[in-house]
Amino acid sequence: MKINLNDRYLRSLNPPETGRLEVSDTKRSGLRFRLTPKGKSSWMYEKRVKGGLKRKHTFGSWPTVSLAEARSMALEIEAEAARGIDRVTIAQDEQLALEEARASQLTVQEVINFYWDLHLSNLRTGEERKRQLETALFSHLNKPIEALSRKDLQEAVDAKNREGKKVYANRIRSAFLAFSNWAWQRNYLAEPIGAGVAKAIKETARERVLTVEEIREIWDASFSMGALWGPVLRLIFLTGQRRSEIIKLRWAEVDMDKSRIIKAGSQTKNGKPQITHLSLPALKELQTLARTECEFVFSTTGKTPVSGISKMKSHLDSLLGNDFKPWRLHDFRTAMATALAEAGVPETIVDRIQNHQATGSAPSAVARVYNQSTQLPERAKALDKWAEILTGKSSKAVKLNGKMSIPE
């Protein structure tokens, strides 16, 4: 509808029952009056910029903005459009400049906090990634994010490299790469500065396989590691699980009656739930521990899992002596896989024990259920066999009234 608008006419209009009532002004072409079913009224002006796009402009509500004011604003935009001036583009540029100015005033710590809120907090390993960034960039946390440079990131990686922690230095580099890409995509950084940071080393797959003699030597040394770290180590060795999954073990995850550790996917590295059979030596380790009100099996504070894995490993190495070939805790998983394979245990069973995720193809729903259920007896037998290899003693389960019992 087109009409030469006046205030009397505008006051006479009633809100439509549905949709939106729109009336065009014949005196100022392109100016329209809008009225919604809820009685909300507003002005809209549409004009093509010379040599450019047709743009829409809103002037606010009526009668706050009168008819005369709306026509005056429309006339001003018409004159600008005739000269090729595009208010929408100008407003967008000003907003972008404002955002860039705000971003330049944010500190590195503030952007890391945004990164946590919007991204890392949704990841299972998010807390660790945030800690890595804050630790590696400690001296830069209070500087403006725009002042952070590729040189700063490289120096942090190189510093960790000089400490001899070359693999961890590569992990820091990966954290920088992800963080800087995220910050660049949101205009906090002018470029993804992490992309050019060099690796500390070129990583290759480890070939260290502990012999049975070495395994038993480490096992024997664990009994000199005290009442806390000794059981931690022996449970890691006996179950073949990742060290973090045993260090953070909760009593609620231990089923003594069924001789199992049951972890939800949120508590494992690959996000998959895991059931781990407890051989008799593993059960004995847990049964000898004094259960407290703390939810964690291993704790010194009563509130958090035990910490200090590096110091513990250094102490264990000192017990083994300088002639013992360098090794890592993770090498025990390789040793287990190798020893069980040599004992005739199928590779698929070992993979399930160690909660490895197949990369070749995704299993069907039936296969996933099968692998988690009907293979549990086979996995239990394999872990009992591993306990025998590790300790040099028989590890056959005994059931009394449906419950596991440890022979004296």
Same domain, 220 and 174: no
Same domain, 190 and 68: no
Give domain status of residue 222, yes or no: yes
Same domain, 190 and 118: yes
Give domain status of residue 29, yes or no: yes
List Cβ neighbours of 236 (8 Å cut-off, separation of 6 or more).
243, 246, 329, 332
Give domain status of residue 235, yes or no: yes
Decide which of 58, 85, 112 is a domain's last residue.
85
List Cβ neighbours of 175 (8 Å cut-off, separation of 6 or more).
129, 132, 133, 136
pLDDT at 408: 41
pLDDT at 402: 42
Q: Which neighbouring-strand residues pair with 58?
A: 44
Same domain, 65 and 140: no
Q: How many domains does the chain have?
A: 3
Give domain status of residue 237, yes or no: yes
Same domain, 253 and 114: no
pLDDT at 404: 40
- Euclidean distance between CA atoms 33 and 106, whole angstroms: 42
Give domain status of residue 202, yes or no: no
Same domain, 293 and 389: yes
> Which domain CATH number covers 120?
1.10.150.130
Same domain, 362 and 244: yes
**Exposure string over 330-362, b if 16+ CB within 10 A, otherwise e:** ebbbbbbbebbeeeebeeebbebbbbbeeeeee
Give domain status of residue 109, yes or no: yes
Cα dihedral value 184, 185, 186, 191, nearest 10: 20
Give domain status of residue 96, yes or no: no
Task: Walk along the chain (408 residues) and give the pLDDT tens digit of each residue.
Answer: 888 999 999 999 999 998 889 999 999 999 999 999 999 999 999 999 998 889 999 888 888 999 999 999 999 999 999 989 888 888 888 777 666 656 557 899 999 999 999 999 888 778 889 999 999 999 999 999 989 999 999 999 999 999 988 888 999 999 999 999 999 998 899 899 998 899 888 876 666 788 889 999 999 999 999 999 999 999 999 999 999 999 999 999 999 999 999 988 888 877 788 899 999 999 999 999 988 889 999 999 999 999 998 899 999 999 999 889 889 888 889 999 999 998 899 988 998 898 875 444 444 444 454 455 558 889 999 999 999 999 887 655 444 344 443 344
Q: What is the DSSP letter of 249?
A: -
Q: In a 10 Å sphere around its CB, with 0-12 CB exposed, 13-18 middle and 19+ buried, how is residue 171 labelled?
A: middle
Same domain, 360 and 229: yes
Same domain, 181 and 319: no
- Euclidean distance between CA atoms 245 and 68, whole angstroms: 72
> Which domain CATH number covers 332?
1.10.443.10
Tracing tokens 């205009």 back to the chain, one arrives at 187
Same domain, 185 and 223: no
Give domain status of residue 208, yes or no: no
Provide the sign of the torsion angle of the four alpha carbons 240, 246, 249, 254, taken in this order.
positive
**Segments forming the whole domain that contains residue 75:** 2-85
pLDDT at 357: 58
Q: Does residue 249 contact residue 261 with C-beta atoms inside 8 Å?
A: yes
Tokens of 191: 């470029």
- Euclidean distance between CA atoms 87 and 58, whole angstroms: 12
| Amino acid, single-letter form, for residue 85 | I
Same domain, 218 and 266: yes
Same domain, 123 and 71: no
pLDDT at 166: 86
Decide which of 35, 53, 85 is a domain's last residue.
85
> Which domain CATH number covers 67?
3.30.160.390
Q: Does residue 279 contact residue 238 with C-beta atoms inside 8 Å?
A: yes
> Does pTM surpass 0.75?
no
Decide which of 164, 196, 228 is a domain's last residue.
196
